[in-house]
Amino acid sequence: MATLKTVRRILLIDDHPIVRQGLRALLEQSIEYTVCGEAATVEEGLAALRSTRPDAAIVDISLGKDSGLEFIVRARREEQNVAILVLSMLDEMTYAERALRVGANGYVMKREATDRLLVALERVLSGKVYVSASVSDRLLTTLAKPGEGARYPIDRLTDRELEIFRLVGMGMRAIDMAERLGISQKTIETHRSRIKAKLGVGTAAELVIRAASWLRDGELKA
């Protein structure tokens, strides 16, 4: 007699309702998954994590004013067993390693085919790590040469600096960044100065050009 598979409970955390709706429709086509909750912010996600006790959470890095990285850090303090899969538009070569470092189990780009998402979800639910082959190669190269420090310019930035660098590339003004991130404009300017120093950028205009180029090309030249 065949045994029934356990239905896996999945929590969706994305600030776009249409994305959550699409993910729900995709997952619930299978008898193996059920969506037990949805959230759009870090606080909503943590509350849903506590109330629904999911087997896995699918999380976007960009949650409006919030960061999915912050959710992962705080979720790991509360729940060690939940599998966390990042699903994001943001460049995996920049964000996948950061996400794994703070506790994610896998990283998938939103542009990937739906079957890739399902493969990744099954892998993290089985206790394994999922990243693309290119990210895996980069991680292995980094581990093989631990004494070299940051091998890529973008890796010199902290998570907060990286978020601000991304917003700079989008053409956002400091005052709007401050409102979006919930910090002061003075703090934004401090971060921008540190970013310029770490990347060897001399002017604000050059910083905008470098950031916009990074968003377009997905890499940052030394």
Predicted local distance difference test score (pLDDT) of residue 170: 82
User: Taking the model in full, what pTM does it have?
Assistant: 0.74
User: Percentage of the chain with pLDDT > 70?
Assistant: 86
Task: Choose between 118 and 158: higher pLDDT.
Answer: 118
Going by their DSSP bridges, the two strands 62-63 and 8-13 should be labelled as: unpaired
Residue position matching structure tokens 């994590």: 49
127: left (phi over 0), alpha (psi -120 to 50) or beta: left
How far is residue 185's CA from residue 204's CA, in Å, rounded to a whole number?
Answer: 15
Amino acid at 121: L
Tokens encoding 65: 């004013």
pLDDT of residue 217: 63
Query: What type of residue is 74?
Result: R
Q: Is the pLDDT of residue 119 over 90?
A: yes
Q: What is the pLDDT of residue 21?
A: 96
pLDDT for residue 144: 52
- Average pLDDT estimate for 96-114: 89
Q: CA dist 180 to 44, 62, 174, 215, Å?
A: 17, 12, 10, 19
In order of their start, the domains of the chain are 8-141 (3.40.50.2300), 153-217 (1.10.10.10)
Provide the token pair at 52: 């629904």
- pLDDT tens digit sequence for 28-48: 999 999 999 999 999 999 999
pLDDT tens, residue by residue, 70-88: 899 999 998 888 999 999 8
- The pLDDT of 146-166, averaged and rounded, is 74
